[in-house]
Each structure stands twice: as C-alpha cells, then as structure tokens.
Chains A and B, each alone.
Chain A
Amino acid sequence: MLGEFEYMLITAAAGLGDDAYGAAIREEIEATTGRKCSIGALYTTIDRLETKGLLKTWMGDATPQRGGRAKRMVRVTPKGVVAAKAFYDAVTRVSRGASWVANRTGSAS
C-alpha cells in the first residue's frame, strides 16, 4: 500500500506525462496541496518508488534555464498505476459515509 506522499507523487507524475521531472512534479504537488514540498522528500520518495518498480527514471536534456544541468525524467510504470489505483480505491471505500463526503455542500454535522 502506498503512502499519502507516494500517491501524490505518482499522481502528479502521471498527470504531467512526458513532462514529468523533479521540479515540475514538485511544483505540481505544491500547487495542488498548498503545502511546501522539500527536495529531500521528493527525491528520496522517487528513489524508493523506483526501487519498488513503481516509477522509472532517466536523465533527460539540460536546459539553460537550469544552469545547463540535466533533468531527471520520471515515468509511472504499469505497476505504479495499479498501486495508485489501489490506494485511490481504498481511500474512496474508507471515505464512504464520512460526513464530508455524504454532505458535500453543507457543513460537517
């Protein structure tokens, strides 16, 4: 079972598709969650997910914007998709009947 941050990282990478790399994933996570994403948390999680076979990474092109340094490109593997779907299904199932789900428009009772 994935952790919360692992799920967010996989989802962000999947959403970015061919443009998924460290800085873009970080920006996406920060924009959607409104929380700061440290570079340490990002890269150690990428390493862990790659070890588990849920992500594949390779070195991409260098750009002047990055001071001539290469990007670490990220792609979600089929195994990663299955793991993310399992996490999403579990969260959906466990959330059924929760006040904030049942009463979407009103306040929590």
Chain B
Amino acid sequence: MRSTGWSFVEAAARPLARDEREAVLGDLAEGNENSWQALLGVLGLVFRHEAVLWKNWRPWLAGFGVALPSSFLLMGFSLSVTWSYLTIRCPELLQKSSLTLGSGMLVLLCQGLLLIGWSWTGGFLVGSLSRRTLWASTLLCYSPCLFCLSRFRVESLSRFCLLLFLVPAIWGVHRGLRISRLTLSWAMALAVAITALMLPGWSSGAHEWWAPPQWTLDWALCWPAWYLVGTAWRARSKTGLGGSDGLWGGQREQQTGIS
C-alpha cells in the first residue's frame, strides 16, 4: 500500500472529498488492485466528477463569460490607470493632456475606483459561481495575463502595471467563495456607483474608427455588478427577507462529505 505507485494513486485522489477519498482508496486496497489499475480507476472517478460539474452553466459563465474576457479588458484599464497616474506626476505630460492637476487627480480617482469596482465584482461573481471549478476560471484569467506580460514592451512602464486589477479581483473571489450573494441594497449601491463612475468616460466620445465604442467595453465589465443585483433581487423575492440578513447575503453552506 505504501509503494511509490500507491503514492501516485493517493496524490491522484486528492481532488476527491475526504470521505470519498477514504472509501475509494480503501476499496482499491481491499480489491488488491495493482497501483496502475488503481491509478486509472481514481483518475476516471476524478474526471467523472469534474465532468458532472461542467454539466452546469455556472462554471462556463464564470470562466468564459467573466474570467477570460474581463482579464483582457481589465489589463487594458490597469494600463490606463497607470498612464493617468504618470500624467499627473509629470508636468509636461499634464500640459500636453490639457488637464489641470485637480481634474487629473479626479480622473485618476474615478478610474481607480472603477478599476476596484469592476475587478471586485467580477472576482466576486467568479468566486460565487465556480467553487470546485475555480481552478479553471483561474487558468482562464491568468493565461491572458501571461500572454500580455510576455509581449509588453513599454520602456517607461513596468509590465506589472497590467496586473493592478488582480488585487481587488482576488479579494472579490475570496469573498465570493465565502458568501453566496450580496444583499440587495449593497449590490444595488455597488452597481449604481460603478455605472455612475462609467458615465464621464462616455462623454469624451472620440475614439478610433476601428475600436468598439467605449460604452460596449464598459458594459462588458459592468454586467457582473448588475448580475449580482439580479441574484440578490431573486433571493429576496424567494425569502421575502428584504435584506435583513446583514450586509452580506447568505453565508456559503459548509461543503461536507461527498457531493
């Protein structure tokens, strides 16, 4: 049972829930299966479990609807925030941009808050939609990051400025994993604040003919906030609690045993 082959089997069984792992490894030991057969059996079980999770729409939405597209867009916006910061720090750039120091700081503040809001709500949605498939959402988020980091060539900027969005996004994922939803009032306040912060960007309508309008990109990042409003609204309609369960919605149920 303690051979090298069996340590591979035990490692392969790691993704299983504790009780299920115990039962499966015990069954394999009792059946006197060799380590190769046992490894195939365990990998088959892990694969089947994973396949069952992906029958649901939630992991698809979290991975391909939020994590992948948002990471591209938020990297671009992180770069934009960094440029705004450099502009107000450098008098020559500030002069060229036709901004005063005060208005430049206001733009930077709005952009910073927007970056935090978009990243946090996106992260929260990914965390709440994909628990056991979080590895896939993480992969779909980090792949574009690595791709862009490897191709980033701007002398005056550190390539890590692309990743400014990651801190609030990880914080959002952490909260999303712990709690299932926000209360309606909190979700609504967040969504309205984010939408309001988006409006000044739309008024500066000039953009390249080939680029999509600013508002389409903004809505691509904003919809998770309104999705959270929708889920909070639906939960309130079902329970009729009216958000009386504190700032946050229902605490995430404990994941125990075999699901």
- Bound CA–CA A63/B30 (angstroms): 9
| Cβ–Cβ contact A23 & B27, under 8 A | yes
Q: Is A59 among interface residues, defined by CB-CB distance under 8 A?
A: yes
Residues of A within 8 A of B20 (CB): 43, 72
| Cβ–Cβ contact A69 & B259, under 8 A | no
Interface residues of B in 44-87 (CB under 8 A from A): 44-49, 52
- What is the interface of chain B mostly: helix, strand, loop, or mixed? helix
Q: Looking at the complex, which one of B22, B24, B27, B46 makes contact with A59 (CB distance below 8 Å)? A: B22
Q: How far is the CB of A82 from chain B (nearest CB, A)?
A: 24
Interface residues of A in 89-108 (CB under 8 A from B): none
| Cβ–Cβ contact A66 & B41, under 8 A | no
How many inter-chain contacts with C-beta < 8 Å in the A-B complex? 77
- Bound CA–CA A32/B19 (angstroms): 28
Closest to B6 in A: A67
Instruction: Count residues on chain B whose CB falls below 8 Å from chain A CBs.
Output: 24
| Cβ–Cβ contact A22 & B259, under 8 A | no
Q: Is B26 among interface residues, defined by CB-CB distance under 8 A?
A: yes
| Cβ–Cβ contact A70 & B26, under 8 A | yes
| Cβ–Cβ contact A22 & B23, under 8 A | yes
Q: Is A47 among interface residues, defined by CB-CB distance under 8 A?
A: yes
Q: Is B240 among interface residues, defined by CB-CB distance under 8 A?
A: no
Residues of A within 8 A of B42 (CB): 39
- Bound CA–CA A57/B17 (angstroms): 14
- Bound CA–CA A26/B22 (angstroms): 16
Q: Looking at the complex, which one of B26, B258, B259 makes contact with A71 (CB distance below 8 Å)? A: B26
A39-B42, A44-B45, A44-B49 known; A66+B26 contact, CB < 8 A: yes
Q: Is B247 among interface residues, defined by CB-CB distance under 8 A?
A: no
Q: Is B205 among interface residues, defined by CB-CB distance under 8 A?
A: no
- Bound CA–CA A62/B19 (angstroms): 12
Q: Is A34 among interface residues, defined by CB-CB distance under 8 A?
A: no
| Cβ–Cβ contact A70 & B23, under 8 A | yes
| Cβ–Cβ contact B26 & A67, under 8 A | yes
Residues of A within 8 A of B102 (CB): none
Q: How far is the CB of B126 from chain A (nearest CB, A)?
A: 25
- Bound CA–CA A59/B49 (angstroms): 19
Interface residues of B in 6-49 (CB under 8 A from A): 19-20, 22-31, 41-42, 44-49
Q: How far is the CB of B203 from chain A (nearest CB, A)?
A: 53
Residues of B within 8 A of A66 (CB): 26-27, 29-30
| Cβ–Cβ contact A47 & B41, under 8 A | no
Interface residues of A in 58-91 (CB under 8 A from B): 59, 62-63, 65-67, 69-72
| Cβ–Cβ contact A69 & B45, under 8 A | no
- Mark A residues whose CB is within 8 Å of B: 21-23, 26-27, 38-41, 43-44, 47, 50, 57, 59, 62-63, 65-67, 69-72
- Mark B residues whose CB is within 8 Å of A: 1, 19-20, 22-31, 41-42, 44-49, 52, 258-259
Shortest 9 CB-CB distances between A and B: which pairs?
A69-B26, A40-B44, A72-B23, A66-B26, A40-B45, A23-B27, A39-B41, A67-B29, A22-B27
